[in-house]
Homo-oligomer: A and B are copies of this chain.
Amino acid sequence: MKEKITEQAILLFEKNGFSETSIQDIVNHLHVTKGTFYYYFTSKEELLMDIHNGYIDDVLKRQDQILKERNKSCKEKLYEIVFMLISIIESQGESARVFFREMKNLSEEHKEDLIKKREIFRNNLQELLEEGKDKKEFHEDLSSDIVSFGILGMTNWSYQWFKPNGKKSDQEVAKIFTDMVLKGISI
């Protein structure tokens, strides 16, 4: 039941926003009563936090797995991270959108926790860029901080327009983005 509530909530938060979705809305869709909701969650915010944690923890775990792979170059790892981010928006688009849009509705304390985790993710990417510089895979005058923000912007922003069943697949988009970042668009 707790899981069913969470799933339904993700759908509604994504469609209408957190503040615009009432507990009543959520439980109506599941044909249970508000009491039931409060049996499983102590507050609406706790539910939102659960959703956020579910998303970021999953993303961090996948990033970890990619970075751990021994016999891959930094370029290859960069592609895989880009692909992972795009494809996670394909498979868990609603969670992703809730994640990016609704952080402000968390309590100050919870928000801090999440911002820390998000910063860890970005920092790992920045370190990958630095490692690539050391290994002469990337330009040595690369601003790894700004560039990491740029790459994340490209991929994260895709939740605004990327459609799972659109013209381009997640793999194609990831390829185009990685090409752009690696080789540039200029002749």
Q: Which A residues contact B (CB, under 8 angstroms)?
A: 16-17, 19-20, 75, 101, 104-105, 129, 132, 136-139, 142-143, 146-147, 149-158, 160-161, 168, 172-173, 176-177, 180-187
Q: Which residue from B147, B152, B154, B181 sits with its C-beta under 8 Å from A176?
A: B147
Residues of A contacting B: mostly: helix
Bound complex: CA of A19 vs CA of B17, how far in Å? 10
**Nearest-neighbor residue (CB-CB) of A140 within chain B:** B187
The minimal Cβ–Cβ distance linking A62 to chain B, given in whole angstroms, is: 20
Number of copies: 4
Q: Are B177 and A146 interface neighbours, CB within 8 A?
A: yes
Q: Are B137 and A180 interface neighbours, CB within 8 A?
A: no
Q: Are B177 and A181 interface neighbours, CB within 8 A?
A: no
Q: Are A186 and B75 interface neighbours, CB within 8 A?
A: yes
Residues of B within 8 A of A185 (CB): 129, 132, 138-139, 142, 147, 181-182
Sample of 27 A–B contacts (CB below 8 Å): A16-B104, A17-B19, A17-B105, A19-B19, A20-B105, A101-B101, A132-B185, A136-B187, A137-B187, A138-B185, A143-B168, A146-B176, A146-B177, A147-B180, A147-B185, A149-B154, A149-B157, A149-B158, A150-B180, A153-B154, A154-B154, A154-B157, A181-B184, A181-B185, A182-B185, A183-B184, A184-B184
